[in-house]
Chains A and B, each alone.
Chain A
Amino acid sequence: MISRNILLLKLSVANLAAKPFGNLLSILLFAIGIAIISLLMRFDEQAEKQYRGNIAGIDLVAGAKGSPLQLILSAVMHADVPTGNISLSEARLISNHPLIERSIPLALGDNYLGYRIVGTEHAYAALYKADLLEGNWWKKPMEVVLGAEVAKKTQLKTGDSFTGVHGFLDIGHTHDEHPYQVSGILASTGTVVDRLILTSVESVWEVHGYHVHDENCDHDHEETVESALLEEHDELLLNQEELDELGHQEGWLVPVSESEPEITALLLFYRNPAAAITIPRLINANTRMLAASPANELNRLRSMLGYGFDALRILAWMIIIISAMSMLMQLLASLHQSMGEIALLRALGASAKSILLVLISQGLLLGFLGWAMGLLLVRIFANAFTEPVMLLLKYPILPVASEYMLLGLSMLSGLVAALLPATKAYRSNVHQILSR
């Protein structure tokens, strides 16, 4: 038996297909609106997730004076150039402060094929719960551990060697005389570490001409940097008042000599919440360093981007409203042409309710097609971005949770667009149409 509902549904589809250009245009407009909203929602969700993941409990970052946002973007997100370098002695003073539980140094400056080489400690990888997939942690200068994405994209393996390029672009002066050797590869963490090449701070110093130790020395440099940061701990174990007083004295810090080793930034972890009040002020007012809070700066970034996103959101809603109106016009035009058919269906026994459903199903179908095309568009569009934006916006094939919410919105728009034509059809005068 040919089901009445299937025939009525076929009729709905056929009526839409009878005006392909107009309906396709409405669907495309609607799809663009849906795609923009989906993209913004995805960006919001993913950015939030990435931000939280990359902050990884870092309370404060100390770096060279400049833009606090730039400092956070360069030292935490590894998405901007650093504001400059800071002296190791200044970094020591802060890391030994009693309100600081621990600190991790970062020394940047080079890259390999665009992936940053970060001089740091093993603790940095532990921040992101990065475990070794193969090989070993670096034990001496010029040994590196690759993030998961770096290993995948560069095809480097444990035991391979490579030379870094100065700066953060993969074109520039190569440090041919200082090759790095891959000692291990990290498992994927879904954080910024996947895109980094980790090594000891001494490696970066060595490449850039700071020889804190004999090149032939083979003792554990990792411990050396750590102990260098901690060596004055006992002397600096002052109470808060003493530190504040000390901080206000002019010339509190010893000027950095030309040959003194530098680092790029120091990641700081507070011992207790009171540090959040004292430490940033202490650094900003009394040192040549800048203190910036990752949480504050990233919130500031999000609120700045928020204005642009809001404008895009308004644009997307306007597109959706215009496309819903376009659907309404299409359905009205299509209804005008199919009044004879509607009268015929009524004369053959179709109830007015069935006719109402045919028209509403057309609206719902338009809404659904707009949603489906929007999802397709956004997936094509998101893949057109280059990394890391593409990775941030990476869509699964199936709709994500927020897109199911957009499906509801799409069907509602289709329903609203179909209501007027459906009501007209419902109230159509069958006798009058058949008597023409």
Chain B
Amino acid sequence: MIMTETKSLVYQYPNGKQFRFPDFILNSGEKALISGKSGSGKTTLLHLLAGILRPSSGKIIIEQQALHSLGESGLDRFRSQNTGLIFQQHLFLKSLTMSENLAIARSLAGKEQDNDWKQKLMQALSIEQLQTKKPEQLSQGELQRFSMARALINRPALLLADEPTSSLDDENFEQMIQLLHTLEKLSPFSMLIATHDSRLKNVYQSIVSL
């Protein structure tokens, strides 16, 4: 079953810079890479898929929903309910605890809190002891685990990750791949990773090369 499909996707920045992206199809449960050098448009494509940007032309269809047919609020809702995002930076709300950071992601998706699922996720990522801490009290590795937990808190069908491994050493890289496998067992998802990290090519197939 097709999870994600793009057709003749073009994005033009206000300064005139234009990206034309190749068409691709990502099937359900499939995990693949969007690879390319810095500045090649990987993050732009990922943000188009997330609905953070709107394409200048072309179509994006995720779970049979054409994103261009959604209004602003519909796009916000679709993104929060159907996609999980892992950002380049470990962004969290500094004034909230880690548990509240997970809770707000669920609240913004308009979903009831599911504490059992939250606890399962944190246990799988070995971070349940840290849930009352605030972001500034955690290490980069711990924040990355919470980023993964937050991306999956709404059980999305599609996970979009932007350079998740670029700052990891080999040991932490291996750990992260293991964690993704563990999470996959908890709740199956498709995944697209925008990366220029060649180590990931040994794990996942590149679906788009920019």
| A positions within 8 Å CB-CB of B | 1-4, 7, 10-11, 14-15, 17-18, 340-341, 343-352, 430-431, 434-436
Contacts and interface: CB of A to CB of B under 8 A. Distances in A.
A349 B53 contact: no
A225 B185 CA distance: 108
A347 B94 contact: no
Interface in B123-177: 150, 162
Contacts of B91: 340-341, 343-344, 434
Contacts of B23: none
A279 to B, nearest CB: 74
Given A2-B103, A4-B108, A345-B108, A340 B96 contact: no
A32 B123 CA distance: 52
14 contacts: A7-B100, A11-B93, A14-B96, A15-B95, A17-B95, A18-B94, A345-B93, A345-B108, A348-B108, A351-B76, A434-B43, A434-B88, A435-B88, A436-B89
Given A11-B96, A18-B94, A341-B94, A347 B109 contact: no
B3 interface: no
B47 A434 contact: yes
A356 to B, nearest CB: 13
Nearest to B11: A431
Given A1-B112, A7-B107, A434-B52, A350 B89 contact: no
Contacts of B52: 346-347, 430-431, 434
A interface: dominant SS: helix
Contacts, number: 91
B43 A7 contact: no
Contacts of A434: 43, 47, 52, 87-89, 91, 162
B77 A349 contact: yes
Given A4-B108, A341-B93, A344-B91, A431 B53 contact: yes
B104 interface: yes
B19 interface: no
A35 B154 CA distance: 49
A349 B94 contact: no
Contact of B104 (A4, A343, A431): A4
A349 B96 contact: no
A18 B93 CA distance: 12
Contact of A349 (B79, B93, B103, B113): B79
A10 B113 contact: no
Given A3-B107, A431-B43, 11 more contacts: A1-B107, A2-B104, A7-B103, A18-B94, A341-B93, A348-B80, A349-B77, A349-B108, A430-B52, A434-B91, A436-B89
A17 B44 CA distance: 35
B89 A4 contact: no
Contact of B76 (A1, A349, A436): A349
A412 to B, nearest CB: 27
A316 B148 CA distance: 53
B72 interface: yes
B67 interface: no
Nearest to B78: A349
Contacts of B43: 431, 434-435
B76 to A, nearest CB: 5
Contacts of B109: 348-349
Residue of A3, A11, A14, A344 with highest tally of chain B CB at under 10 A: A344
A349 B100 contact: no
The 5 closest A-B pairs by CB, nearest first: A349-B80, A14-B95, A4-B107, A349-B108, A344-B91
A151 B169 CA distance: 86
B73 interface: yes
B32 interface: no
B92 interface: yes
Nearest to A436: B89
A32 B91 CA distance: 39
B34 interface: no
Contacts of A15: 95
B47 A431 contact: yes
Contacts of B47: 431, 434-435
Contact of B50 (A18, A345, A347): A347
Contacts of B44: 431, 435
B85 interface: yes
A430 B162 CA distance: 14
